[in-house]
Amino acid sequence: MPLNIDWQQILLHMFNLVLLFGILYVLLYKPVHDFMEKREKEYEKRDADTKNALSDAEKLKAEYEAKIAEAEKENALVRAEISAKAEADRERIISDAHESAAKIVEDAGEKARMEHDRLMARARTEIAEYASKAAEKIVMKEGSLTDDFDTFFESVKDQKDNGNG
């Protein structure tokens, strides 16, 4: 052998190397590779599930936002309706109050006119009565005219003090 090369030793080392790679492949590479693929598929599945859940959540969010918007519109309509009813009630109450006030003022004016007319009629009758009494006393009595007037006024004063006038 010229360079001291033993072909048998080389083949044996090559066989040991191939055997080592085969054993390492079966014992280390293949389980780790399978584990990594399995994990990758699991993460892809989780990612897909997450994306599906996110899209479902976005759909629900859109539905809820639409329902909220619809509820707000209904709420606005109800508020407007209630406000319109309240305004109508307010106007009705105000108009009723004005009508009632006008009736009260009218009734009070009528009562005042009736009381005025009654007092004027009573005053006329009393004046006529006092004038006739005074004339009667002047004509019937003898004496001075000033004494008769003084007596007349004193009798009128006495009648008022006694509550008749």
Spatial neighbors of 41 by CB under 8 A, at least 6 apart, are none
Please state the length of the chain.
Answer: 165
Q: At what angle do helices 30-140 and 145-162 cross, to 10 degrees?
A: 150
What per-residue confidence (pLDDT) applies to 157?
76
Q: What are the sequence ranges of the domains in the chain? A: 45-162
pTM over 0.85: no
What per-residue confidence (pLDDT) applies to 106?
94
Decide if 165 contacts 159 (C-beta within 8 A). yes
Q: Could you read off the pLDDT tens digit of each residue along the chain, which spans 165 residues?
A: 467 778 888 899 999 999 999 999 999 988 999 999 999 999 999 999 999 999 999 999 999 999 999 999 999 999 999 999 999 999 999 999 999 999 999 999 999 999 999 999 999 998 888 888 887 777 776 555 556 667 777 777 787 777 654
Q: State how far the Cα of 152 lies from the Cα of 137, in Å rounded to an integer.
A: 8
Burial, 151: exposed, middle or buried (Cβ in 10 Å; 0-12, 13-18, 19+)?
Answer: middle
Q: What residue has token string 């009128």?
A: 156
Q: What is the largest CA-CA distance in the chain?
A: 200
What per-residue confidence (pLDDT) applies to 145?
53
Token reading at 4: 């001291």
